[in-house]
Structure formats: C-alpha cells, structure tokens
Amino acid sequence: MRNRLKELRAARGWTQADLGERLGVSRQAIIALESDKHDPSLDLAYRIAALFGEPVEAIFENPHS
C-alpha cells in the first residue's frame, strides 16, 4: 500500500527511530512501511493518522480506487 509516511516524517525532522518510538514499533517496522514492503494493521494506520493529524485516506492510498 503506497503511503506518504516518509514525506510526513521528514517534514517534521524525525528519524525512522523517532517515528517508531512515537508509535511503539521498531525502526525496522517503519522502514518496511515506508518502502511498501509491509501494510500497517488497521490499528497502526489509525495511530499514524492521529499522530500526524490527518485522515487515514490522506496518508495511505486506497489500492482499490
């Protein structure tokens, strides 16, 4: 699932480790999400959206549209 995670993280000056810490996941999990190698769980997608103050749909691309 394509996403804007790297762009949003970089705009805040956060490292992958910083973002992982804020979300309670590993840096490796962030790398996998940013490189589209792993899709987030629904819970994680909502936590990411809340952290960045944007709707889920603004961060993650719907692969079915």
pLDDT reading at 1 higher than 80: yes
At 62, is the pLDDT very low, low, confident or very high (cuts 50, 70, 90)? confident
Distant-in-sequence, close-in-space partners of 19: CB < 8 Å, separation ≥ 6: 5, 9, 30
Rounded to two decimals, what is the model's pTM?
0.91
Count of residues making up the chain: 65
Please report the pLDDT score of residue 3 as a whole number: 96
Q: Report whether 56 contacts 45 (CB < 8 A).
A: yes
pLDDT digits (tens, 9 = 90+) for 24-57: 999 999 999 999 999 999 999 999 999 999 999 9
